[in-house]
A and B are shown apart, each in its own frame.
Chain A
Amino acid sequence: MGNVHDHAHDHGHDHGHGAEEEEGAPGTTLADRTYIPAVMRGIKLTLARFLQPKATVQYPEESVYDRGSDDRAIGTQNPRLRGEHILVKDEQGREKCVACLLCMAACPALCIYIEPEAAPADWGPDRERRPKVFELDMLRCIYCGYCEEACPCDAIRLTPKLYQPTTSRLERVYDKQRLLENNQDAQVPQRPRK
C-alpha cells in the first residue's frame, strides 16, 4: 500500500480531520500507522460475527417468514405483503366483481383487461353485471395494490402469496378462472385503510 507515493497520494495527513476520538486524528497515531491494532480489531469483529446466528436463509426451502426470531422483523407471513391477486367470491359463490372497470382504470401498468356481461338471471336482482373476461397479466403487473384500492366491491385483493414460476409467458396471464381459483388457499384479510 505505502509504496504508491506519487503526488496524487502525497496528501500527507495535514488535512486535520479534527480530533476524532481521544487517541488523536485517524491515521496520525502510531497505532494507526503500524496497522497492527486495526488488523487485530478486524479479526476480533469478524470472529464475533462468526459466532452470531446467520442472517441468510436457504431460499426457497426456507423463507425469512419461517424463522420467527425477532431478529429479522416479520416472523409470520406479513398480511400486507403485496403478491398475487385473487378474485373474491361472496357467500353464495358468485364472484363479487361487478365489472365496473375501476381497477382497470387505476392500474398504472395497464395490465388488467375486463369485458363485462350481464349477470345470469339466477343470480338474483342485486347483481346486474359480471366480468365475462377478466385477464391480469402478472408479468406486466408491478404489484402496487392500486386495483385493490380502487375496487368498490372488495372483489380483487392482493395476497401475500409471491410469484409462482412457470415455463411460459402465457401461463402468467391469469384469466378469470385462475384468479378465482387462487382464492381457495388464501382467504386474506383486507388491507386496512386510514
Chain B
Amino acid sequence: MSPELTAAPLAAAPLARAPFGDAAVSLEPGLHEQEMVINFGPQHPAMHGTLRLVMTLDGEKCRHIDPQMGYLHTGFEKLGEHRTWNQFIVVTDRMNYMSAMANNVGFALAVEELLGIEVPPRAQAIRVIMCELSRIGDHILGVGLQGMDLGAFTAMLWAFIEREKVYDVFELASGGRLTTSYTRVGGLAFDLPEDCPARIRAFIERLEPVLQEMEGMLSRNRIFLERTQGVGTFSRQQAIDWGLSGPVARASGLDRDLRRDRPYSGYEQYDFEVPVRTEGDVYARYLVRLAEVRQSLRIVEQALDRLPSGPVNAIGAKATLPDKDEVYSRMESLIQHFMLEMPGHGIKAPKGAIYHATETPNGELGWYIVSDGTGVPYRVRVRPPSLYQFQSIKPMAEGRLVADVVAIMSSLGVIAGELDR
C-alpha cells in the first residue's frame, strides 16, 4: 500500500480549531487530535430498528450527523401497484409494526374517499376504538423505550406487558396480534366479538395505575430529567420547517391534530383534548405521549359507551363482500362475491388521485393514491411521519453529546418499516 493511502487525511491535518468549545486543551507531545467517524446503527442495541446515523465525533461531542435510511426498504409502495385495493391492507400492517391498526384504518379511509363510500357508524366507532388502542400501545411502549434508552430498563418491561394486553384485544377482534389486517375497503373484516367491549373496558380501567407507576418512575426522576430536559430542543417554527407532526410537533407547541382539525371516522363526536407543550425537548415529548394516552382512554370509553349497533360494512356500496350465509344461499350474493374476488374484477376505483391523511400515533400518515380506473392502484405513495422525524435528528442532535443523541432518537418514535417503506 502506498504511504498516501495509509495516512488518513483527517489524521494528517491538524485541527484548525480548539476541540472542546473555547477551552484550550494542551496535549502531550506525540498525541494528536482527530475527529472520528462512527456508525450508530444499523445494528446497535440503542437504535430503534435498522436505522443508521453516521456521526462525526469530536471526543464525546457529535459534530455532524448523517442520518441514513433504506436498510428496511421493502418496496411496499411498489407492491401497491401490483395488489388490489383490499390486498394492500395486509401491507399496511407491516409498514408500521407499532400501530398496525391505525395504518389499516388510514389506508381504508383513503380508498373509501376515492370511491365515495360512507362507512356505517358501528364500523366507524370500532375503527376509532382500534386506532386509539394502538395509540395507547404505541405511546406506552414509546415511553417505556425512552426510559430504557436512558437506563431505566424496568419501565420498558412494564410497558411491554401493557402493550401485550393491547395486542390481546387486537387478537380477539381480528385474529392477528401484530398483523391485524382488520379493515376492508368499506368496513371491517369482522364485527367485534361479543365479549370484546367488556374486555377493552377491563383493560383501560387497569391502565391508569400503570400510567401512574410509569410517571412515578420517570417524571420526577432526576437522572431522567437531566438527560431529557433541554435536550433536542426544537422550536415551533423549526417543527413546521422540518415537517414534523404528531406528538413530537405538539411537544414543540405546534397545536395540530388531524383528529380534531380534519375529523375522520366520526372523531368530531368525541370529547378529547390535544395535549400541547411548548418546551420542545425530549422531556416535553415524553409528557405529551403520556397525556395522549390518557386522552385516548377517554375516547375509547366514550366510543364504548355509545357503540352503535348495525352492520360493520357498507353493504350497498358494491365494494364489500356479501355476507357468507347469503353467498351460500342466494344467487345474487354469489355473483357479487365472484365479481369482487375474481382476478381482473374486484373493486374498480374511478380515475383520479387523492391525498388522505390520518393522525397515527407518531404523526400525520398520508396516502397519496393515484387510480387509473383498473382494479389496482396506479401508484400508492405514503407520507410517513417517521421520515420527517428521522431527518430532523440532524438539527436536533448536532453539537450535543453522544448520550443525548440516544435520548433524542428514542423520543422521536421512528419506525423503520414505515420510514423505508
B90 touches A15 (CB 8 A): no
Q: A82–B21 Cα gap in the complex (Å)?
A: 59
Task: Convert B157-175 into 0s and 1s, putting 1 for each residue whose CB lies closer than 8 angstroms to a CB of A.
Answer: 0100100110011011111
Pick from A31, A146, A152: contact of B337, CB under 8 Å? A152
Query: How far apart are B398's CB and chain A's nearest CB, in angstroms?
Result: 11
Do A80 and B193 contact each other (CB < 8 Å), given the known contacts A8-B400, A108-B83, A152-B334? yes
> Bound state CA distance, A20 and B171, in angstroms?
37
A11 to B313, CA, bound (A): 54
A42: chain B residues within 8 A (beta carbon): 154, 216-217, 221
Q: Which of B175-226 contact A (CB under 8 A)?
A: 175-176, 179, 181, 189-191, 193, 199, 202-203, 213, 216-217, 219-223, 225-226
Complexed CA–CA distance, A179 and B164 (Å): 31
Which one of B90, B165, B283, B311 contacts A72 once the chains associate, using CB atoms below 8 Å? Answer: B165
Which chain B residues border A154 with CB–CB below 8 Å? Answer: 324, 328
Count of residues in B whose CB is under 8 Å from the partner chain? 69
Q: Which A residues are in CB contact (< 8 Å) with B164? A: 55, 72
CB atoms of B190 and A192 under 8 A apart: yes
Stretch at the interface among A33-41, A121-129, A132-140, A165-173: A33-41
Listed by A's residue number, 23 A-B pairs whose Cβ atoms lie within 8 Å are A1-B223, A6-B21, A7-B21, A8-B61, A8-B400, A9-B401, A15-B230, A15-B279, A17-B284, A20-B219, A108-B88, A108-B91, A144-B176, A145-B181, A145-B189, A152-B328, A152-B334, A154-B328, A190-B324, A191-B190, A192-B193, A193-B190, A193-B313
CB distance from A144 to the nearest CB of B (A): 5
Bound-complex Cα distance A72 to B174 (A)? 17
User: A45 at the A/B interface (Cβ < 8 Å)?
Assistant: yes
Contacting residues, chain B, for A193 (C-beta < 8 A): 189-191, 313, 321, 323-324
Within 8 A of B (CB), among A1-59: 1-2, 4, 6-9, 11-13, 15-18, 20, 26-27, 31-33, 35, 38, 41-42, 45-46, 49, 55
CB proximity of B1 to chain A, nearest CB, Å: 39
In the A-B complex, the 4 residue pairs with the closest CB atoms:
A11-B230, A73-B168, A80-B175, A108-B87
Is B404's CB under 8 angstroms from A46's CB? no
Q: Tell me the minimal C-beta distance from B300 to chain A in angstroms.
A: 15
Minimum CB distance partner of A31 in chain B: B220
**In the bound complex, do residue A74 and residue B171 qualify as a contact, i.e. CB atoms below 8 Å apart?**
yes
**A111 adjacent to chain B (CB < 8 Å):** no
How many residues of A are in contact with the other chain, CB < 8 A? 57
Flag whether A149 is at the interface (Cβ < 8 A): yes
Bound-state CA distance A190–B88 (Å) is: 24
Which residues of B from 261 to 306 have beta carbons under 8 Å from A?
277, 279, 281, 283-284, 287
Q: Which partner residue on chain B sits nearest A33 by CB separation?
A: B222
Given contacts A55-B161, A73-B199, A105-B342, A8 and B401 within 8 Å (CB-CB) = yes
Contacts of B87 in A (CB 8 A): 106, 108, 146
A76-B222 Cα distance, complex, nearest whole Å: 44
> Is A150 touching B230 in the complex (CB atoms < 8 A)?
no
Beyond A152-B337, A152-B341, 12 additional pairs, beta carbon < 8 A = A11-B230, A27-B229, A32-B222, A41-B217, A73-B169, A143-B179, A144-B90, A146-B86, A149-B189, A152-B327, A193-B321, A194-B191
| Pairwise interchain contact B20-A6, C-beta atoms closer than 8 A | yes
Q: Which residues of B contact A74 (CB under 8 A)?
A: 168, 171-172
Q: Which of A80, A105, A143, A152 contacts B190 (CB 8 A)?
A: A80
Looking at the assembled complex, report how far the CB atom of A29 sits from the nearest CB atom of chain B, in whole angstroms. 8
Given A78-B172, A102-B341, verify A2-B226 contact (CB < 8 Å).
yes
Residue-wise, chain A 62-88 has the 8 Å CB interface mask toward B (1 for contact) of 001000001011100010111000000
A17 — which chain B residues lie within 8 A by C-beta?
229, 277, 279, 283-284, 287
Query: Given A2, A8, A27, A143, which contacts B404 in the complex, CB threshold below 8 Å?
Result: A8
Contact assessment for A38 and B20 in the assembled complex, using a CB-CB cutoff below 8 Å: no
Bound: A2/B225 CA distance, A: 12
Output the least CB separation between B228 and chain A (Å): 10
Contacts of A55 in B (CB 8 A): 161, 164
A144-B90, A146-B90, A194-B191 in contact; A8/B225 too (CB < 8 A)?
Answer: no
**CB of B399 closer than 8 Å to a CB of A:** yes
* CB closest residue in chain B, given A5: B226
Residues of the A chain whose Cβ atoms lie less than 8 Å from the Cβ of B287: 17
| B312 adjacent to chain A (CB < 8 Å) | yes
Closest to B401 in A: A8
Q: Nearest chain-B residue to A24 (Cβ)?
A: B220
Nearest CB on A from B190, distance (A): 6
What residues of B have a CB within 8 angstroms of the CB of A32 in the complex? 220, 222, 225
Interface status of B29 (Cβ within 8 A of chain A): no
A142 at the interface (CB under 8 A from B): yes
- Nearest to B231 among chain A residues (CB) is A11
Shortest C-beta distance, B220 to chain A (Å), equals 5
Is A158's beta carbon under 8 Å from chain B? yes
Closest A residue by C-beta to B160: A55
B45 at the interface (CB under 8 A from A): no
A192 to B321, CA, bound (A): 13
Within the complex, the shortest CB–CB distance from B64 to chain A, in Å, comes to 15
Q: In the complex, A45→B312 CA distance in Å? A: 43
B343 within 8 A of A: yes
Partner of A27 from B176, B216, B222 at Cβ < 8 Å: B222
A80 and B193 alpha carbons, distance in the complex (Å): 9
